[in-house]
Structures are given as structure tokens and as C-alpha cells.
Amino acid sequence: MNDKRLRHLLGIEELDRDTAERILELAGTFHEVVRRPVRKVPTLRGKTIINLFFEASTRTRSSFELAGKRLSADVMNVGGSSSSTSKGETLRDTIRTLDAMHADVVVIRHSVSGAPHYISSRTRASIINAGDGMHEHPTQALLDAFTMLRHKRRIEGLTVAICGDIAHSRVARSNALLLGMLGAHVRLAGPRTLLPHRADAWGADVFDRLEPALADADVVMMLRIQQERLGACLLPSLREYSQQFGLNKRRLALARSDALVMHPGPLNRGVEIAEDVADGEQSVILEQVESGVAVRMAVLYLCANEPERPIEG
């Protein structure tokens, strides 16, 4: 397989449609690999991947770690509070240090929007954005699209309602950009204080009530309120929020009967999503986690692989 290397994955904004489709296609191959009895290929043997996470993460970090290991790379985790930034080192010096260790790929999560872009011009390694502040989370959007494709066989023409705290969500932005690029109709729904000022610029329809956004939707994606990014109090109370914007069975019935229920996690059960909906028949929340490993294998493969090395090795 002769793939062009992907220099960095900073955001969906920088990604073209061909590359996005290639990642999704490759993820299909890796999805098969992770379902085999021996879930490992030698493709990235001898390559070094460093996970540099300055913000909390369960799924994304373990998913990148597992993806790197499934490809036989050496994977190292560097955490925020255990790294030298807590001793006053700048991000630039941290990245120069990792560069001196000949990292091939650095996966970074940071609370500052644009942090991955900043380091990408200061390192030899490929940079993958695993979430930067309120900006982008490109691999989450790719794994969401992959999950939709597995169920619906297409993205073109799907109606996807993304609901909740849109303004502070990097998942919402990356999904709106990617799904829009792939031809879906994207709806964004949330209380006015949690909608971005220029949401229409994301190419989506915007709703300040949940019900009209859910009508006949093929996919309903619920988002957590980003308490850590709210700053001022933008919500009267969580109880009121949940009453008006929580996804329960009655509201889900407004969407198509075969609509998928998605959530990037972590879930706040009883707030944005009712217990029985999160665990219900239409929920593909755990499949999203499974897709994450395959999609991240595809992204790591395109960032770290020598073009002539095939997947089977």
C-alpha cells in the first residue's frame, strides 16, 4: 500500500476530504486487525510515539496508547502533573526535549487552543492533536464518522443533531466540520448561552430547543457540559438544563426510529443523557470507543509509517 505520509493532524480544518476518506478506509482495515485473536501488526516497529497529555483523559489516552502498541511502536506516556512543565518548563522546551529523543509522533492534549499548532512548527516529529482547549478534537470526529459509517454505510445526506454545550466543545466543532465536509446535514442544539456566536459559520443549522433539532435525525450526539471551561455561570441549574436539554426516551422518539445515540464520553448520566437511553438499544457509545482504536491506528500509520512499509509487514 503506497500512502503519502501525513505530516501532522492538527484539526479537521486542515484536513482535505481525500485524506479524511483515506483515514476512514484504513480504519476499516485496522478494525479487522483489532478483532483478530492476535491483535497486532509489526507496521510501526522501531518507531517512537509519545503521548503528552496536559489535561485529564481516560479514553483518548488509552486509545492512542493501545493503537500505537497494536502497531508495534514504542509508546511512552508523559502526563501533565508528572512532567517538567509543573517545574516551570515551557511547552517549547518540553517538545525540544522529546525531539532530542527522536520521537516520531507526539500526541498532545492541552487546555490551550492552538498548542498543537504552536509546537508543530518547532519539531521534527509529527504532531497529532488529541484535543486543544475549546478548539478541535480531530480523531474524535473521525471515530464518530467511522462509527456512523459502520451503521449507516454513508455520511452523505445523514441528518446529525449535535446537542448540548456546543460553545465550549472541541468535539462539536471537529464533528461539524468533518460531517459537513462529508455531506451530512448538521444541526447544533443547546441553550443560547452555550451556543457559539458564529455557529452558522460552521455550516450547520442552529437550534435553541432540543425538540426541533431531533426531528427525523439519523444520529443524535449528546455532549457533556464543559464545567471546567464555563468560566462565568451560563446555566441557571443542572436540573433545569436536564429538564430542557436532556435526552430521554420521549425526546429520542422524535428522531428516526433507527437513529443512533452517540456520546464522546465522559457521560454525565441523568444530566445530558438519561440512564436508559445511554444503555438503550440505539446507543453506540461503546462502539465509539472500539472505533477509536482503529481510527487512531490509521492516523498513526499515516503519520509514522515509511510509505513503502505495508500493514502486514
Query: Which residues here bind ligand NCD, judged by CB under 6 A?
Result: 59-60, 131, 137, 140, 170-171, 224, 264-265
Minimum distance between the CB of residue 293 and ligand NCD, rounded to whole angstroms? Answer: 13
CB of 134 to ligand NCD, least distance (A): 9
d(CA 241, CA 216): 23
Shortest approach of ligand NCD to residue 247 CB, angstroms?
Answer: 15
Question: 54 or 301, CB closer to ligand NCD?
Answer: 54
Q: Which is nearer to ligand NCD, 31 or 110 (CB)?
A: 110
Q: Which is nearer to ligand NCD, 43 or 140 (CB)?
A: 140
CB of 265 to ligand NCD, least distance (A): 5
CB of 34 to ligand NCD, least distance (A): 18
CB of 269 to ligand NCD, least distance (A): 13
> Rounded distance, CA 50 to CA 88, Å?
20
Q: Which is nearer to ligand NCD, 228 or 240 (CB)?
A: 228
Question: In terms of CB distance, is 41 or 294 closer to ligand NCD?
Answer: 294
Q: Which is nearer to ligand NCD, 137 or 251 (CB)?
A: 137
